[in-house]
Structure formats: C-alpha cells, structure tokens
Amino acid sequence: METEVQSNSFTYMGRSFSGLSIHDGSSSAFSDCNSDRSGEFPTASSQSRRLLIACASSENNNYSSDELIRQLVSDLNSPSPEDQKQAALELRLLAKNKPENRIKIAEAGAIRPLIDIISSSTDSQLHEYGVTAILNLSLYDENKEVIAAAGAIKPLIRALKVGNAAAKENAACALLRLSQVDSNKAAIGRSGAIPPLVNLLENGNFRGKKDASTALYSLCSVKDNKVRAVQAGIMKPLVELMADFQSNMVDKSAFVLSLLVSVAEARAALVDEGGIPVLVEIVEVGTQRQKEIAVAILLQLCEDGLSYRTLVAREGAIPPLVALSQTGTSRAKQKAEMLIGLLRQPRSGNAAAAPAATARASSDVSVA
C-alpha cells in the first residue's frame, strides 16, 4: 500500500483524492465504551488514517468504499500476518467513524475472519485490532445477533483472559454490546465471562474497571449471573471501590451491588467483606445519588432478616438515615424512612409490609 502525501491531496492505489477530511458527524459514536484512544494506531501515520476514512466516507467516485472494504476483508484471510494486521486496523477505523460502514463490513463477510483472529492470534497487536473491530461492528444493533451467532462470545472471553490491556477493555465493551440482546446475557455468563470481568474490575486500570463494571451491570440482570459473580469474588473489589471516594467508581460499584444484593449469596458476601460500614459511610458523606443507592441496598439487606438489621444499627446507621430522611431527594427520603422503621422495630418483630417496601425501594436504579 503506497500513500503519497501532498498538502491536502492523496494518492491511494493509483487513485487521487483531495480536500478530504476525517471529521464525520458519527465519530463520537462511542459513549460508555470508547476505542478512540491517544496513540492507538502506532503502525499507521495520521495521514494514512485520514485517507482511509476519507476513502469510505466521501462521495468521491474515483474509488468505491465497497471495493475498499472487500479488499480489506479479503486481506483478513491473507497468509501474511502483516497484511492481516493492516486490514484489521483499517476495518476497525472505518467501522468506528461511519455507521454505514458497520453494515457494509459485516455484509462483506468480515465477522467470521475477525473472530478467527481473536480466537487464535498470538500477535498481541493483531489480536487487539480484531477485538476492537468486532466492538465497533457491534455498535450497529443488527450486527449484535450476527456476531454472537458467528461464535464471538468465547473468543472475546479469551481476550479478557490473555489479551493486552486495550484488548481486555474492548472485549469487555464488546460483551456489553452483545449482552444488550437479552438472549445473549445467559449465554455470555454460561460461557465463562464473569470471572475474567471480575478480575478486570479488581486489577484493571480505571478504564478497565469502568468497562468491566458496566458489562457486569448488564449481565447481572440475570439471576444465574449474579450467583456466578459472587462465586467469582466480586464483592471484595466492589466494597473496596465503594470505600475509596477518590476512585471515581463509587456510583458504578454501588449500582452493580444494588443488582447483586437481591440474591442471598450476595448479601452474605457483602457482610463478610465488611460492606455494611462502607454503605453507612456513604449514607453519611456521599453525594445525593450515592446516598440514595446506598440506602436502597441497606433496605434490601435489612428486609432479609433481623441479624442484618442488628449489624446495620450497630454501625450507627440511624443518625445519618434520619438526616437523609430530612434532606435527601424524595426517593432517598422515602427509602430512609422505610429503613428507619425496620431498624426501630422490636427485635422479635417482622414487618409484614417489608417485602413490598423493599421492592419499591430497589426500583429506579440504573447505571448513569
């Protein structure tokens, strides 16, 4: 591939282009999971990247974007690892910057060879490009089921285990996208995604922790995945992140916990990991949203039994709960009042209305 740069003009495969810009209204397509990171294309010049997007984004008729995409997909099957790497890099870029390209690339047959790369490549950079290309293709809703049906789930889980940092983060994002199809949630959990996601939550950098928590929140709407997460040791990193107000992970960790606490295994693990004093502290000094999430979790916990209420009361929860019932948001006030009522019941009492109160209190919780 030869690229000659002359001011704002380019020659690519013998074709001339001029006045082409990489800027496209869809370039900010990523929100929770963004693969557009500084320095992520160390093997291609910025001018080359600009040209590739321009080729597939412009209305210039000198070169067909369909022809370019077909050639790149063909190169994915090349015996040359360098050709594969260049093709995967360029396809990931084209899929990120123009929504129509996600359809064209999938229809050109890129998904299966990209999955093969993720499954077997020992080149960390090629592996990362393959993972990220699949992530970018999954941004088109109609591709999600196609990607899962083509067998991407287990290779993406492999990437979570053996990939470099960027591959792990983007694999978590890709699994999040696939889990937005409800039927995929259980399949992803059964295939073994939960333990490596928990490991990324505990040991990843900030982006890795954020991506892992978001994927886990989506997956843990399924009961079996909640149990798998607890068995994988999720409670320890969740409690640690909630306890660290400098982590910028208090909210997301608490949201994940708010889903998990509906199963008995999670409630027991929360107590074992020292989660009650952390939640009480959040009620006392957290932001308004953090306080609301924390009181909802404590309310679910205390509905489960007298022993949990005793532990919460012993941590000094009533004074901050009283303050929250007076100064919190309307939902936080309601939840705080319900929890105060439970904590002040006679030790032998059992509130008949507690299940309904807890159901109300645990509603309206979602990742922002």
Let me know if residue 201 belongs to a domain. Answer: no
Same domain, 176 and 36: yes
* Rounded-to-integer distance, Cα 242 and Cα 58, Å: 47
Residue of 99, 111, 171, 183 lying closest to 141 (CA atoms): 99
Q: Which residue has the higher pLDDT, 322 or 39?
A: 322
**pLDDT tens-digit map of 182-204:** 999 999 999 999 999 999 999 99
Range of the domain at 336: 247-368
Query: With pLDDT > 70 as the criterion, what percentage of the chain qualifies?
Result: 76
pLDDT at 352: 42
Answer with the one of 161, 183, 205 that is the final residue of a domain. 183
Same domain, 136 and 269: no
Chain-wide mean pLDDT for the chain? 83
Same domain, 84 and 161: yes
N residues, the chain: 368
pLDDT at 92: 95
Let me know if residue 176 belongs to a domain. Answer: yes
Let me know if residue 90 belongs to a domain. Answer: yes
Same domain, 158 and 30: yes
Dig out the tokens for 59 from the structure: 């209305």
Same domain, 124 and 270: no
pTM of the model: 0.81
Q: Which of the four pLDDT bands, split at 50, 70 and 90, describes residue 356?
A: very low
Domain count, the chain: 2
| 3-state DSSP assignment of residue 193 | coil
**Listed range (301-305, 312-316, 358-362) with the worst mean pLDDT:** 358-362
Answer with the one of 183, 208, 239 that is the final residue of a domain. 183
pLDDT at 66: 87
Q: Is the pLDDT of residue 17 over 70?
A: no
pLDDT at 55: 53
pLDDT at 33: 59
Answer with the one of 149, 168, 183 that is the final residue of a domain. 183
Let me know if residue 311 belongs to a domain. Answer: yes
From its phi and psi, is residue 182 left (phi > 0), alpha (psi between -120 and 50) or beta? alpha
Let me know if residue 57 belongs to a domain. Answer: yes
Q: What is the CATH number of the domain that holds 359?
A: 1.25.10.10
**pLDDT tens-digit map of 161-182:** 999 999 999 999 999 999 999 9
Let me know if residue 4 belongs to a domain. Answer: no
Q: Is the pLDDT of residue 366 over 70?
A: no
Q: Is the pLDDT of residue 363 over 70?
A: no
Q: Is the pLDDT of residue 224 over 60?
A: yes
Same domain, 22 and 158: yes
